[in-house]
Amino acid sequence: MEAGLVRDLIAALPVAVLAVDAEARVTAANRAAKVLLGEELTDRPFVHVLRHPVVVRAVDAVLDPAHVPPPMVDPALAAVASGGHRMRVQISARGRDIPAEITVSGLPERKGALIVIEDGSGLEAAEQQRRDFVANVSHELRTPLTALMGFIETLRGPARDDPAARERFLGIMEAEAARMNRLVLDLLSLSRVESEERRRPAERIDLAMLIRAVAATLQPQAAAAHVQIRVEGAEAPVHVLGDPDQLTQVFHNLVENAVKYGGTGGEVTLRLSPVAHDAVLRGPATAVEVADRGDGIDPMHLPRLTERFYRVDSHRSRQKGGTGLGLAIVKHIISRHRGRLKIESEQGKGSRFTVILPDQIERR
């Protein structure tokens, strides 16, 4: 295979790839390899580019199998169909150790070898996220379960014949059971939304009517908290393509949060407005802003608000019935609708959560 063709093929690949000649000297490296290992890669011995004994032995074994006795081949190497080797190792790159899956295979007529390096950092991060999620769910369920078990034991023992204590404990148990139920429902909702995220909604809905319905539904809760919900710009129909149940869930969550956590300002505004051209969505859009006049949120928290189980104030959130999953669900629903969520807040001046949905329907 000609050297020029090898370089062209390597350059077109999306993963890091190096080519070495029969003397284990680097003859070609694509852009991904240079990003991972540094700019100056070619015309250098491979051992100086990637200093890992297992990988170096694999390259030697592919270039000249006869001179690498089997005992010298590391047990971490897995043979591949082409006569090469695949291994999972930690390599030094970008100034740190990263997990990588590396495949070494021979070029035709034993004129060299190809080394393919797949960065496993993303998979490792995803696995860590999974572990954190399981740990968070376990913690969120364990707390109310521990309380329930403690109260059951008390009701069977010291409080068996105490009607007042029994009523008080049963009330607490009911609240803890309701909290677990909300968490389970939110987990199921999150799972459902994630499974549908790649299927874009195609139903034509009236967003203005949906906004008015959400405001009407939450009006009693707002009144109990001495908060007024104002709706602006939703007098005339505004049609978009969307899932009405999921978008109702989005705005119900945002307005309910505004009433719970930003209600100290006494007013929550739902404002619907057209966007002639949104730079991120690259076209016309419709924006729905949920704004409150409450205490606001410290800017340091804003980038993490949509993370699962992330809370600005854990104790206050649990007191108000929050599960820590609401904004994560909102984020995934908006992503399914190919829209975006913009969060702005200033301490002492309130918060604004703006949902921007692309227009797929021509305005009349």
Q: Map out the domains of the chain with their CATH numbers.
A: 3-119 (3.30.450.20), 121-196 (1.10.287.130), 201-364 (3.30.565.10)
In this predicted structure, what is the pLDDT of residue 248? 95
In this predicted structure, what is the pLDDT of residue 214? 95
In this predicted structure, what is the pLDDT of residue 243? 93
Distance separating alpha carbons of residues 318 and 172, to the nearest angstrom: 14
Q: What is the pLDDT of residues 335-354, one digit of tens each?
A: 999 999 999 998 888 899 99
Is this model's pTM higher than 0.85 or not? no
Q: What is the pLDDT of residues 180-232, one digit of tens each?
A: 888 888 888 888 888 888 888 889 999 999 999 999 999 999 999 899 999 99
Strands 228-232 and 267-278: parallel
DSSP β-bridge partners for residue 179: none
In this predicted structure, what is the pLDDT of residue 252? 94
In this predicted structure, what is the pLDDT of residue 299? 85
In this predicted structure, what is the pLDDT of residue 364? 42
Which of 234, 301, 247, 302 has its CA nearest to residue 274? Answer: 234
Strands (E) in 94-237, as ranges, are 96-106, 112-119, 204-206, 228-232
Residue with tokens 């029994």: 166
Own/partner pairs, 41-49, CB within 8 angstroms, 24+ separation? 46/18, 46/20, 46/115, 49/18
Distance separating alpha carbons of residues 57 and 216, to the nearest angstrom: 70
Distance separating alpha carbons of residues 353 and 341, to the nearest angstrom: 7
Residues in the chain with pLDDT values less than 50: 71-72, 81, 362-364
In this predicted structure, what is the pLDDT of residue 362? 47
Residue with tokens 């389970």: 184
